[in-house]
Structure 1
Amino acid sequence: METTYCDRCGEPGGGAAHDGCRAARELEPPRFCAHCRRRMKVQVVPAGWTATCVEHGTLTGH
């Protein structure tokens, strides 16, 4: 599945305009689904995070 949108800001992805988003994503979970641009339900716990899109499912990270 191809990613179309930035998973941090929700804008169309790619290019140098998202360098700040890529740097921030190393420390925080995604906020938008990269496939459909929907805002995701995010839960952060000490052991990691989960981000859920109603259309595309759940992502996890540590």
Structure 2
Amino acid sequence: MYICICRGITERDIAQAVQQGVSSPEQLAETMGVGADCGCCLNHACQALAQNLGREPSDYCTAVCPS
């Protein structure tokens, strides 16, 4: 499933990033550009990141889609 339409980032892409050492929303943004355009993907990206790290989404996810 697509997480970021603007950048074409999928759940699989985030899982691969985690395998390569990404472990924070900031690292997702730096390495993949997550949230760099409209920002609406940030919460879903955080949830996917947490799931792939075996953590609770609430540990990472505070972003919301900007108005």
Same fold at TM > 0.5: no
- Name the TM tier (shorter chain): under 0.3
Higher strand share: 1
What TM-score does the superposition give when structure 2 sets the normalisation length? 0.26
